[in-house]
Amino acid sequence: MAMRNFILDNLGWKLASVVVAILIWITIDSNIKLPGTRASSSIVSKLPIAVVRAASDLGAFRILPGQAEVTLRGESTVLNDLNALDLLVFVDLTHVKDDKNLRKKIIVHTPPNVAAVKVDPEEVEVTRIPPAESANSRSHQD
């Protein structure tokens, strides 16, 4: 009889807790959106990579590749109003001293409510161009 009492005692509370647990599970499983939330979407853009360096650094750098494919995620209305000037894709070379060849991680700065979820490639190859070579390339461009 002890087992029967164990099952039947507080039966109403036990059934109520099972119903609440089922409702919580259904809510989480179906990903019900709360009022006021908006659907998010993603876009992929191919953007040029800028170089950030110290003002006192007069050397020139070559980065390969020169563009990165960036996957952005955010509210669809924000992504639709986004343009290339709102995004900054760069490599930070402010602390690079005399390294000739190195790899640096690409950094993406986005506006609020937009997130960069993927950058391809994640790193670029950075090569310091000797001053004589960079002066020659400038004279050819003029």
Does residue 27 share a domain with residue 1?
Answer: yes
Specify the CATH number for the domain of residue 107. 2.170.120.30
- Give residue-wise pLDDT tens across range 88-126: 888 887 777 666 678 888 888 888 878 888 888 888 888
Q: In what order do the strands lie in the sheet with 88-92?
A: 50-52, 88-92, 107-109
- Give the residue-averaged pLDDT of 11-19: 90
Query: Among 10-14, 98-102, 130-134, 138-142, whose mean pLDDT is lowest?
Result: 138-142
Q: What is the pLDDT of residues 79-88, one digit of tens each?
A: 777 877 788 8
Instruction: Count up the domains in the chain and report the number.
Output: 2
The string of DSSP letters for 9-67 reads TTHHHHHHHHHHHHHHHHHHHTTPPPTT---EEEEEEEEEPEEE--TT---EEEEESSE
The answer to whether residue 89 sits within a structural domain is: yes
142 has a pLDDT exceeding 50: no
**Given this model, what pLDDT does residue 140 score?**
46
Question: Strand pairing partners for 74?
Answer: 41, 114
- Residue 135 covered by a domain: no
Same domain? For 54 and 75 the reply is yes
pLDDT grade, residue 25 (50/70/90)? confident
Residues 18 and 48 in one domain: no
Q: Which string of b and e fits 64-81 if b means at least 16 CB within 10 Å?
A: eeeebebebbbeeebbee
Residue 91's domain spans which residues? 40-130
